[in-house]
Amino acid sequence: MTQLGFIGLGIMGSRMAANLLKAGFPITVYNRTPAKARALRDAGAGWADTPAALAEQVDVLFTMLATPNIVEAAAFGEHGFLKALRPGSLWVDSSTVNPTFSKRMAAAANQAGLRMLDAPVAGSKIPAENAQLLFLVGGDAADVEACQPYFKVMSRQVIHAGGHGAGSALKMVFNLLLGQSMIAFAEALVLGESLGLDRDLLFTSLTGSAVAAPIATSKRPKIEAGQYEADFPLQWLQKDLELASLTAYEQRVALPVTNVVKEIYQLANRRGLGTLDISAIYAYLHEANPPEH
């Protein structure tokens, strides 16, 4: 039976790996912080002490790591998995990274006799838990086909966007919109409240309207409670906008609004909000606009 491996057991990876395990696939996991693997190990997942030790045991390896640099270190660093995978094995990178990076990883994988897909996901903590993610995939059709049984138990839909890098390209586009939608909504709330409009009225009138993104209005409970436990950490959305900006530079495309927005998220990062949910951008803007005396 095909042996699966999963590296990166954060908010998303832990839930995706849990769904693979629940579906009965044999799976071995690795995470920098071993404690996060505890529940999976208790439920029957194997554990490897390093990415390389994991790679020796698997046919299909998923990675769900924070940034391109971290993916690269897991692949090529000390105890990296790339050299340890058996020829013909398939590496599926679900981390949100830039398309150029995905293409470079695919070329390195191919050179090592491996197959690769970039397969980032849309959908956050709850969709990951409920197997309702949307996979955005780049790579060869045969490899996408080979992964369908695994995608199926983690997602509601798979979009094969094109060759290597196309999944990451589509994900860049998704998160450009996400970053802008969230901050636009937060700014609208701040203006409305400064005009004396009740926050409850603002939410009630904007939710379901044509002008507010559903993702932003879905953050109502967090904003009302002032509790921003992360579904999607703000620091990774900032990273995604940074990667969109880099990609636009490579493409010689101008993204004036994205570049301003990414800097505002960076300011929020600098205020220590990076590990909170993306909706904490409201708290940042709210605090930056104290009532006038």
Ligand X SMILES: NC(=O)c1ccc[n+]([C@@H]2O[C@H](COP(=O)([O-])OP(=O)(O)OC[C@H]3O[C@@H](n4cnc5c(N)ncnc54)[C@H](OP(=O)(O)O)[C@@H]3O)[C@@H](O)[C@H]2O)c1
Residues that bind ligand X (CB under 6 A): 8-13, 31-33, 36, 64-66, 70, 95-96, 121, 124-125, 231-233, 236, 240
E strand or H helix that includes residue 160? strand 155-162
Reduce the DSSP state of residue 90 to 3 states and report it. Answer: strand
Closest approach of ligand X to the CB of residue 224, in Å: 20
| φ/ψ (deg, to 5) at 262 | -65, -30
d(CA 131, CA 162): 23
Q: Cβ closer to ligand X: 9 or 147?
A: 9
Q: Cβ closer to ligand X: 32 or 220?
A: 32
Closest approach of ligand X to the CB of residue 33, in Å: 3
Handedness of CA 40, 45, 46, 52 (dihedral sign): negative
Q: Cβ closer to ligand X: 109 or 128?
A: 128
Closest C-alpha among 99, 54, 47, 63 to residue 248? 99
d(CA 215, CA 201): 18
Closest approach of ligand X to the CB of residue 148, in Å: 20
Residue 199 C-alpha from the chain's centroid: 30
d(CA 33, CA 36): 6
Strand partners, 116: 91
Reduce the DSSP state of residue 209 to 3 states and report it. Answer: coil
Closest C-alpha among 11, 255, 277 to residue 129? 11
Closest approach of ligand X to the CB of residue 21, in Å: 16
Reduce the DSSP state of residue 59 to 3 states and report it. Answer: coil
- Residues involved in catalysis: 171
E strand or H helix that includes residue 122? strand 121-122
Closest approach of ligand X to the CB of residue 73, in Å: 6
Ordered DSSP codes for 103-125: HHHHHHHHHTT-EEEE--EE--H
E strand or H helix that includes residue 41? helix 38-42
Q: Cβ closer to ligand X: 126 or 197?
A: 126
Handedness of CA 135, 264, 99, 86 (dihedral sign): negative
Closest approach of ligand X to the CB of residue 14, in Å: 8
